[in-house]
């Protein structure tokens, strides 16, 4: 029959076991985030990046009108403030 010895709570570590587990989890999360970032930037996998569809004439005209309205609103606000 083997004799079992009770362990101390700290097991000789300078920080608690809970802190060690949290640090390992944070490190794993950092590694996953870094790997995702590398995958996103480098584009591994050979997939073609989707190309943006060209805008129709109507959409281009609408966006030009929106930009003109925004610039006019900014101009009015600047004139009102000064």
Give me the residue spans of the domains in the chain: 17-43+57-81
CA distances from 23 to 11, 16, 17, 27, 48 (A): 18, 11, 10, 6, 37
pLDDT score recorded for residue 8: 62
Confidence at residue 46, expressed as pLDDT on a 0 to 100 scale: 61
pTM (2 d.p.): 0.43
Rg, C-alpha atoms of the chain: 30
Model pLDDT for residues 50-81, shown as the tens digit of each residue: 677 888 999 999 999 999 999 999 999 999 88
> What is the spatial distance between Cα 51 and Cα 9, in angstroms, rounded to a whole number?
58
User: Span 4-22, mean pLDDT?
Assistant: 79
């Amino acid at each position: 029959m083997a004799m079992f010895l009770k362990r101390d709570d700290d097991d000789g570590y300078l920080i608690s076991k809970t802190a060690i587990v949290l640090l390992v989890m944070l490190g794993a999360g950092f590694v996953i985030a870094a790997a995702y970032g590398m995958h996103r930037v480098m584009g591994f996998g050979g997939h073609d990046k989707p190309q943006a569809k060209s805008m129709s004439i109507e959409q281009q005209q609408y966006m030009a009108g929106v930009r003109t309205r925004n610039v006019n609103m900014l101009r009015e606000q600047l004139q009102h403030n000064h």
